[in-house]
Structures are given as structure tokens and as C-alpha cells.
Amino acid sequence: MIRVGLVVNPVAGLGGRVGLQGSDGEAVQQRARELGARPRAGTRARAALSELAARGADVELLAAPGVLGARWAAGAGWPHRVVPVAPSSETGSAECADSAVLRPGSPRLGVVPPARRAPGSGVGTRAPDAGHVHDAGRPGAPRTTAADTVAAVRALRDAGVRLLLFAGGDGTARDVYDALGGDTELTVLGIPTGVKMHSAVFSVNPRAAGEVAAVYGREEGGVPTRRAEVMDRDEAALRQGRVTARLYGWLPVPFVPARLQQRKTGGTVLSPDAVGGIAREVREAAQRLPGAGSRGPLLVLGPGTTTQALAAALGAEVGPTGVSALVPGGGTAEVVARNAGGDALLDLVRAGRPALVALSPVGGQGFLLGRGNQQLGPEVIRAAGGAARVLVVCTESKLAALGGRPLLVDSGDDALDAELTGYRPVITGRGALTMYRVTI
């Protein structure tokens, strides 16, 4: 039996139903409520738990207190244990009252009654970083903030959960990321309830999250994980009229190929065979560059798990975040830059080695440039030799998961975008290309 943790951001998705761009920040939530928004995060979390129960998973469920988890677990007819969470300074989290409900045991036996009351104390104030203030969406319901999510995630981690289910959107995913850090070994999975869903840590729908959790519970140890992107819209850029998503980092999510790879957003199958083939293609392309024989080519890799695996196949270890640069050789590659910024990249590319830039679509949106990799600005691409020096790498299943949507570029330079758009060969494996549409 493994321990699964549940944390719910009760106001995630509040804005979406009433046409707002998100639900982060108290002002937006207030406006959403005025427009008649009803929260749905809890009911979606419940759907995931029902699925978990239906699949007969042998798991012990630990929930954050009250609207942060336990209330929805109770509604799913699923026994759970409530893990106390230290009240955040802003809210006082009076919801801990629910933690009296404690019913471990077989999932099929006990049913925890729904919370009897909606505690009314602890009305929150605005989080200092304009973080998201959560509430259950009902008059008199408590408000919770990002700090509560962070505290709940840490409490569940400390209670020994092996898989953390969190219900929310991109903002919540960021909170989870903040709570755990990018190096965490704790496997997480998002139950999608938010408005903004750029991150790849979510299942396609709530039931799918329950299904994956069930498989994870059944075959713990046998289920590999992969690192999936945590992304969020760049609100500052948005206010200037640009839609831009920032890449915050990666979190480990369960990878259940036979059941998940066909999903639209779950599909990042990195079969070693495919990535090894892609790596050979990229290395050969780099070595064919004019001048590569004498100087050794420079390979600039955009962020992503595909490019990370590609680097590994070339014999170099780089993280999935940030832009790195390698000089590929026979069986190894020399890493000349990790997490390089725009200026450093420009210097590297101008230093005289013939350069290639390998990019992989980031997140579920299909962005090649301009989301999560702004360091690779138009000057860097131009210094490398322009669109002709850009290679797109992606596995077949990840491409199929785009559901026919084109790949996107938004480099910030219209002329370069124009060069990059049209039909481009995407390297999907050894000797395998797909001619795919790239648009702005």
C-alpha cells in the first residue's frame, strides 16, 4: 500500500467560467465571485478520487485539511487521513478543525462523512507577493493563499506520501514547485482544474489523474517517472499585451505509457530508441556544418526533456531547464555552457564555431521559441546562421499529442519568425522526419 497525498487549491479555475484570464490574486477572485463564478476545483478533485476508488487501488490517502483536501476526499466516499498543516500567517487556516476526521482502512469499507460545517474564521488578507488567495467560493468560507498550498504540500511530503495529487492550475503547479524545489524526488500529478494550463504536469482530465494514481499505487517502483514542465503565463508581459508563458522548472510525474501516451497533453514518450536515433541525426547534422571539421561544431540545446535526453544520448549531462551548449564528439560531448543567458549565448555563438540550435516543443502548447526559452532571442538565432541552423526535434508520439495543432514561434522578431514558419522537417528518430507546420 502506498501513501498518496491530496492538496486542492479550492479557488483554482474560479475565473475561467466567467471569462477571466485566470484566478490568481484576490482582486480577480473577487471579480469572479461577483460575476457568479462557482468553484469547481473540489468537485474535479473528487472525480479523480472516485476514479482511483473505482480502479480498486490499494492506497492510503492523506489529505490536507478542510477545503485544502479533506472536504473533497470525504465527498468522494474515500477514507483518508488528514495531515495537519501549520496555519499560514495570512489565513490562520482554521480548517484544521476537519482534521478530527480520521478513518484509515480499506478504501472499499469506510466512508468519511462530508465536513459538517464551513468554518468561518480566518478570513485572509492578500499575500505579500500578490500570490493567489484561495477560498471555497462561498460566503463565509475561509480564504486560502499560495502559502497554504506550499505549507500543505510540505506537510504531506513530510508525512511520507509517495505520490502527491494536487488540484489546480498553472499557479498551483508553481506553488507545488516552490514547495518541493526542482530536485524533488516526490512524484506529483496535477488534477486539471485551473484556467491557465500551460504546464505539462497535469493529466488530461480529472479521471485520468485518478487512473494514473491507481496504476502508480498498484505498481509502485515499476512505474517510471518523467520530468514535466511547470509553466505559467508571464503576467507582466500579458499586461503589455503579449501572451507569454514562462518556464519555471520540472517536476517528476508518473509515466504510464500504455495508458497515457495517446493523451493530448500527457504525451511525451521518450523511448530511448527514438531519442538515441534523434541524437545521431543531430550529431551528424552538426558535423556536416561547413567548418565543423576544423573547429568542432557548437550545438545549442533549448530547454526540455527531449533535448535533455538528447544531450544524454550524446554523452553530456545537462538539466532540463535553461539553454545549454555542447561540442559533440565521438561518444561524448563537452558541455561548454549550462543555463546560459542571452549574452553568454551570443558570445558563444559568435566565437567562431559553426553552430546548430536544436529545439523541442515546450509544454502542451507546441511552442518552439518564445515560451520558456526567451534566452534564445532572435540575435542568438541570427548569429548562429538563422532559420537554416534551427533543428526541431520531437518524438512521434509527442507530435501526435499536438492533435494536429501547428508548432508555434514567437521569437520577438517578425522577420525571423517569418523565416522559421512554413513546413519544417521535425526529426523524430533515426532517419525519420515529419514535415510539420510551424506558424506564429
Partner 1 sequence: MSDARRQGAAEPTREDARVAPKPALRRFHQARWDEKLIFELSTPGQRGIEVPAPEPEVAAAVGDVAAALPDALRRGTPPALPELGQQQVLRHYLRLSQENLGADLNVDVGQGTCTMKYSPKVNDSFVRDPRVAEAHPLQDASTVQGLLEIMYRLEGLLREVSGMDRVSLQPAAGSSAIWTNVAMIRAYFAARGEAEQRDTVITSSFSHPSNAACAKTAGYRVITLPPDADGYPDIEALRAAAGPRTAALLITNPEDTGIYNPRIEEFVRLVHEAGGLCAYDQANANGILGITRAREAGFDLCHFNLHKTFSTPHACGGPAAGACGVTEELAPYLPRPTVEFDGERYRLEHDRPDSVGSVRPFYGVVPNLVRAYAWIMSLGAEGLREAAEVAVLNNNYLLSRIREIPGVSVPYAQSRPRVEQVRYSWERLHADTGVHSEEIGLRAADFGTHYWTSHHPYTVPEPMTLEPTESYSRADLDEYAAILAEVAREAYEDPDVVRTAPHRSTVHRAREDTLESAATWAVTWRAYRRKVLGEDGA
Asked if residue 280 binds partner 1 (CB under 8 A), the reply is no
Residue 433 in the binding site for partner 1 (CB under 8 A): yes
Q: Lay out the sheet containing 81-82: strands in order across.
A: 81-82, 59-63, 2-8, 163-168, 187-192
Rule CB under 8 A: is residue 15 a binding residue for partner 1?
Answer: no
Scanning 54-62, 95-103, 152-160, 229-237 for contacts with partner 1 by CB under 8 A, the matching segment is 54-62
Would you count residue 436 as binding partner 1 (CB under 8 A)? yes
Rounded to a whole number of angstroms, the minimum distance from the CB of residue 230 to partner 1 is 24
Which has the closest alpha carbon to 3: 62, 72, 84? 62
* 97 CB burial (10 A radius; 0-12, 13-18, 19+): middle
Q: Which is nearer to partner 1, 295 or 430 (CB)?
A: 430
Helix (H) or strand (E) holding 277, with range, is: helix 272-288
* Inter-CA distances, 376 with 28, 54, 102, 238, Å: 33, 46, 51, 20
- Reported residue count of the chain is 440
CB atoms within 10 A of CB 150: 21
According to the binding rule CB under 8 A, does residue 248 interact with partner 1?
no
Task: Point out which span in 33-41, 81-89, 202-210, 352-360 binds partner 1 (CB under 8 A).
Answer: 202-210
Q: How far is the CB of 410 from partner 1 (least distance, A)?
A: 21
- Taking residue 102's Cβ as centre, other Cβ atoms within 10 Å add up to 12
Tell me the C-alpha distance between 33 and 133, whole Å: 13
Interaction of residue 55 with partner 1, rule CB under 8 A: yes
The amino acid at residue 307 is: T
Q: What is the DSSP string of 166-180?
A: EEE-HHHHHHHHHHH
Which grid coordinates belong to 389? 541552423
Q: Cα separation of 85 and 90, whole Å?
A: 13
Q: Are 218 and 57 in contact (CB under 8 A)?
A: yes
Q: Is 288 in the site for partner 1 (CB under 8 A)?
A: no
Name the residue nearer to partner 1 (CB basis): 92 or 386. Answer: 386
Site for partner 1 (CB under 8 A): which residue of 102, 125, 422, 439?
Answer: 422
Residue 55 Cβ vs partner 1, minimum distance, rounded to whole Å: 7
Does 120 participate in binding partner 1 (rule CB under 8 A)?
no
Q: Which segment (33-41, 189-197, 267-275, 289-297) binds partner 1 by CB under 8 A?
A: 267-275
- Residues in a beta bridge with 325: 300, 337
Instruction: Considering only residues 372 through 401, tell me which ones interact with partner 1, judged by CB under 8 A.
Output: 396-397, 399-401
Look at the block and give the residue holding cell 513530510.
158
Site string for partner 1, 209-228 (x = CB under 8 A): -xx-----------------
Which residues is 229 bridged to in the sheet?
A: 250
Which H/E stretch holds residue 390?
Answer: strand 390-393
Residue 125 vs 439, nearer CB to partner 1 = 439
Of the pair 62, 409, the CB lying nearest partner 1 is at 409
**276 makes contact with partner 1 (CB under 8 A):** no
| 277 CB-near residues (< 8 Å, 6+ apart) | 429, 430, 431, 432
Selected binder of partner 1 within 77, 122, 182, 257 (CB under 8 A): 257
In this complex, which beta carbon is closest to partner 1, that of residue 57 or of residue 147?
57
27 is a contact residue toward partner 1 (CB under 8 A): no
Q: How far is the CB of 312 from partner 1 (least distance, A)?
A: 16
**Alpha-helix runs per DSSP H in 240-351:** 257-260, 272-288, 292-295, 305-313, 342-350
Considering beta carbons, is residue 396 or 419 the nearer one to partner 1?
Answer: 396
Enumerate binding residues for partner 1 (CB under 8 A).
51, 54-56, 205, 207-208, 210-211, 256-259, 261-264, 267, 269, 271-273, 396-397, 399-401, 403-404, 422-425, 428, 430-437
